[in-house]
Structure formats: C-alpha cells, structure tokens
Structure 1
C-alpha cells in the first residue's frame, strides 16, 4: 500500500471546513496506519478535536457509520468510555471529500484525555484490566440488537488467511523465502484445522473490536477510554486476545500476561477451559495476519522496527505450535 501523507493533509484541511474550523487551524498527524489521524487545534475559537482521515477503499460510509453506532451503544448500554463523534455543519457524522475522481471519508471526534500504558512498564495488572474490558465488550455484543442498517466486515478464515485475506497474503510478507514458506504453510494448515474444529457458532463468533490491545487504551485519572474501533467487525470473540498481544507474542512474560488477561475476563464473563485452550491458536492467527500486514505497510512504525525479524520469530513460534499440536506456543 502506498501512502501519500501530503494528500492526507489536503483531505484533512478540506474536511475541517465542513466542521467550521477556521483557516488558522493547526493540524498535526499523530498516527499513520490504515488511516491518517490528526490532532486538531483552532486558535481562533479554542476548539480541539481528533480527525480521522480514512484510507481509500477500506470502509464504505455505511460501515463507518455502523462503527459509530456501536461506540454510542457501548457508552449508553455498557458504560464503556469510547470516542464521541462530532457532527459536521450539515449534521453528517461521516463526511466525504472528493479528490478528482477519488473519494476519501473522514470523521471528527472530540479530543480525549489520557495516555496509553507505557510499553516498557507493562505488567500483569494492565492485562487483567484489558481482559475485563474485553469481556464487557463481548457481553454487550452478544446481547445488543444491532440496527437493521448495521454493517461491518468479517475477520473469518477467508478474510484472514484464506482466499480473500483483507491484509494481504502472509506468503508475501517480509523475509518469506522457500524455507519459511514451507514451514509456515504447515502451521497455517494446523491453525485452519483447529479453527474449523472450534466452530463459529453465535456464542463464539460475533462483533469484536479486533485490535483491543493496550496501545488502544487511554488512561486518564482512573478513567479508561477504549479507542480505535476502525478494524471492528465480526470474528471469533477470542480473536481479541490474539490482538491484545500483537507484536509481543514471543515475549517471555506472555504466559503471565495471558493468565492475567484470563483472570480479568472471568471477573466479568465466562471463559471455558475449551476456549482457554484455543487462545494460542488465535495468537498464531493474528501473528500470520501481521506478517501479511507488514508486507504491505512499509511506512508503519512496526515495520521499520521489526522488519524480517518478525517473520523469523513467527517461524520459531510456529515450530512450538506444531510440536504441541496447536496446544501452545
């Protein structure tokens, strides 16, 4: 995926006009991944905000509006603190900026206080909190009567490691040679076998955040805001654990963090022993997806930091996964 941050800036500037920000408004890009996210400050009015400029073609307007519906419902029904969207001058929550023959969508959110947990000081308590939050989202998703017009994509087998992988083919990841391809193909086959045996019944497969990790929590004076629902969609509920340990799957502290996450989850909702035994399969599923994602996101910070070492680490985890017949990594 090629990224043109200059175009993102132009789209952001044009979008802010629709929200009645002044020409003096300052924008600063704070994240560039699937989308470009900006911190916005208007010195004329004192208004602040967070503007998300969507990657072209990733979500249609209907899907973005559906994401905002879930954010509203979580705040209202489950007491989960989520970003609050701001309506444009015409009342729209999702606006479209036309660039020649192309369309880019954007959403403005109220500015949220807080900082994400320090990656260098992560402890089991953080993962217990994350597990409890995850269970609250799952509990809500299982009982929420979604509006008829609600639409989000799926992270099922076909759209993760199957025929239509949304983040690209893992086989095209960085550092995939003949040896890696042969070895990881065996691992992928075992992941698929275990997922098929586990099944996708309604109690196991539903609406999930799909990127619920510590980096997407903002902690502010005891309040925890859950952010970045852009990847939310339908998948196995326990896929959220695979997401929780993204890029740290081979950390030696993972067993401790895993236990803490489980304890936090069970404080809120049921997690059976069968489900617990599937957690490492979802870690491997997510790991393969990130190998694919890194292959097409050369601009991302994680790619710059990890590169082909991430694929090599995936091979090591895969060896342990195969040796245990998928029971552990």
Structure 2
C-alpha cells in the first residue's frame, strides 16, 4: 500500500506505485487527487484498488502477452453490451480521450491497464452458494441468449477455445501432464477420460451451441452488492461451448460433495432463460471433468501464485477423483 501525497517535498518519485499514480492522475484527471493505491490480488493479472478524490476504482494490470489491445477492447465492449441488457457488471472508466485501455509502468513492468468502478460488496460465502448459484444460472442463461445474437461481431476479436486451446497442443495454460506429480495410472485415467469425452462430443451437434462466453463465472468472480449479483473479471471471455461456460462456474470446486445441490439450482434457473436438452445435461459432468483437467494445467503454470499455493497438492490429487466419478457416472444432475 502507498499513500500518495503530492504536496510532500520528500515524495519518493522512484517508488513504482508513486510513478504509477502520477501516470493515472495524468490520464484520468476526473479522478482528482489519488490518496492511496493498494495491491489486491494476482492471478492472470494484477489488481489494485485506487482511492481517489472521486471514490474507489479497481485497476487491472494485464499479464504481458495474454491479450492484445484489440482483444481487451472487445472484452470491454462485451461488458458494455451486457450492461445495456441489465446484467450487472463492473464498468470500465474512460480516459479523457475516450479510450479505456492504457499502457503504464507498473511495479510489474510495462502493462496494459484498465480502470473499473469499484464494486462495493463481497464474494458469496459457502452457506450462500445455493442461492448464489441459482442467481448465476439465471444470469448466464440471459448472457447466452444475448451471445447468440452478438457472437459474430466478436468472432475475430476474442480468443477461440477448442480442445486444442483447452487441453491440447495450444493450451493457454500449458500441459496438465507433469511426470513429477502424475504417475502412469493417473495419466492413463486422464487419457481415457479425454478419449471418452471426445467420443461423446462427436455425437453432440454443438455448432449452434457455441458463442462468446465468460469462461470463469465462479463465486470469486461474483460480488454480492445489496442483494444484486455483479459479475466481474471477463478477462477470459472467449468463443467456446456454452456447456463449457456452465461447467466453469464450479472451477476449483469440482471435487466438492455438495456440488450437485447448488449446481442443480443453477441448471434449474438457467433453463428458465435458455433451454438445455437431456443430452446436454448428461454431457455437463464431462465438461466439468474437462475444465478440471484444464485447471490442472493452470495449477502447474501458476505454482508461485498465492491462490495456487492456497490450493496445495491435495487439490491436484482430488482431480483424479473428479475424473473417476465422471467416468463412473457418479456425478449427475437433474433433467
């Protein structure tokens, strides 16, 4: 945390947070004086909270090379479209020239950054998952209806996630297969699962069931604000299966024994806005398994992050139980 006092003759302009604050003040004069910058969290990106004369703002500093300027602008346009359809999101802040994305010197180096209006509230607690997942299901059902109408506008401006980008040779988070952690029997289990998944996917006519999705709408990307559910962090939004988007709502929680209880509420509320066939509901456990395998790759590629360390290797080894349950049809949902 840094307290920014522009009247101090002894202000350490070499401090990277001070340097960043001075750049922000120049690009966003409407914020007025900047009083404080606090590091919040890191995952794909780094997030800071900015306390200014005009209130609080969140600043996202992009991981180098993760997204192009065009891709970031397309994400922000998607957020604006959803907001125009009464879906609550964190709204970006425009610079004086009307642009939303800047390139700044941050403590992590030169980065694309975007400012968002700070959302007061909190993430849902575990005892609120049932109700929260119901609300998330309603919201995602609305989002997918909107997506079917606008996806072509973004077709070349956001990444496409097929199996290659999820768990294949072009996987965004690298390989799930690390011999130092995974033995032969565990590897065979994953490979058998992926073979079954691809066989079932080949029987699914998914051409019209793909579009622009959030790809990470889980409880940590939901803010409860006075009864309203606000969706944040569209950084991974991409073109992929709507079923993958649904499966991603339980990211990192796939092993939970109480998952069917609150996930069934999600499905029920989703169906009030968008249909799901019996075949799609039967496929959902396999998409959940696919997402878990992708997150194994995320875990290996983010070993140094605070969140990965909080999960620990026990989370990694629970992944094989998840995949085994899917293969043995022990994970199922309402029709």
TM-score normalized with structure 1 length: 0.87
Structure 1: runs of 5+ lacking an equivalent: 1-6
- The two structures, once aligned, show a CA RMSD in angstroms of 2.6
Q: 1:252 aligns with which of 250, 257, 273?
A: 257
Counterpart check, 1:60 vs 2:68: yes
Q: Measure how far apart 1:12 and its partner are.
A: 4.5
Provide Cα deviations, 1:67-94, integer angstroms capped at 9, x if missing partner. 1111111111x21011111112332211
Where does 1:180-219 land on structure 2 (aligned, <5 Å)?
180-202=186-208, 204-219=209-224
Q: Measure how far apart 1:258 and its partner are.
A: 2.2
Corresponding residue for residue 25 of structure 1: 35
Q: Measure how far apart 1:22 and its partner are.
A: 6.5
Provide Cα deviations, 1:199-227, integer angstroms capped at 9, x if missing partner. 4302x111100001122111111222111
Counterpart check, 1:314 vs 2:319: yes
Q: Measure how far apart 1:16 and its partner are.
A: 1.5
Q: Measure how far apart 1:146 and its partner are.
A: 5.3
Q: Is the 8 A contact 1:114 1:218 kept in 2?
A: yes
Q: Measure how far apart 1:278 and its partner are.
A: 1.0
Q: Is the 8 A contact 2:151 2:211 kept in 1?
A: no
Q: Is the 8 A contact 1:174 1:308 kept in 2?
A: no
Q: Is the 8 A contact 2:16 2:105 kept in 1?
A: no
Q: Is the 8 A contact 2:34 2:50 kept in 1?
A: no
Corresponding residue for residue 4 of structure 1: none
Q: Is the 8 A contact 2:89 2:231 kept in 1?
A: yes
Where does 1:65-104 land on structure 2 (aligned, <5 Å)?
65-76=73-84, 78-97=85-104, 103-104=110-111
Q: Measure how far apart 1:143 and its partner are.
A: 1.6
Counterpart check, 1:38 vs 2:44: no
Distance 1:63 1:146 in 2: 14
Distance 2:28 2:144 in 1: 34
Corresponding residue for residue 281 of structure 2: 276
Q: Is the 8 A contact 2:74 2:158 kept in 1?
A: yes
Q: Measure how far apart 1:317 and its partner are.
A: 1.9
Corresponding residue for residue 296 of structure 2: 291
Q: Measure how far apart 1:161 and its partner are.
A: 1.1
Corresponding residue for residue 133 of structure 1: 139
Q: Measure how far apart 1:66 and its partner are.
A: 0.3
Corresponding residue for residue 115 of structure 1: 122
C-alpha spacing 1:154/1:47, structure 2 compared with 1 (3 Å) = same
Structure 2: runs of 5+ lacking an equivalent: 1-14
Q: Measure how far apart 1:148 and its partner are.
A: 6.8
Q: Measure how far apart 1:254 and its partner are.
A: 1.4
Distance 2:16 2:280 in 1: 42
TM-score normalized with structure 2 length: 0.86
C-alpha spacing 1:10/1:177, structure 2 compared with 1 (3 Å) = farther
Distance 2:228 2:331 in 1: 36
Larger RCO (alpha carbons 8 Å, 6+ apart): 1
Q: Rg: which structure is higher?
A: 2
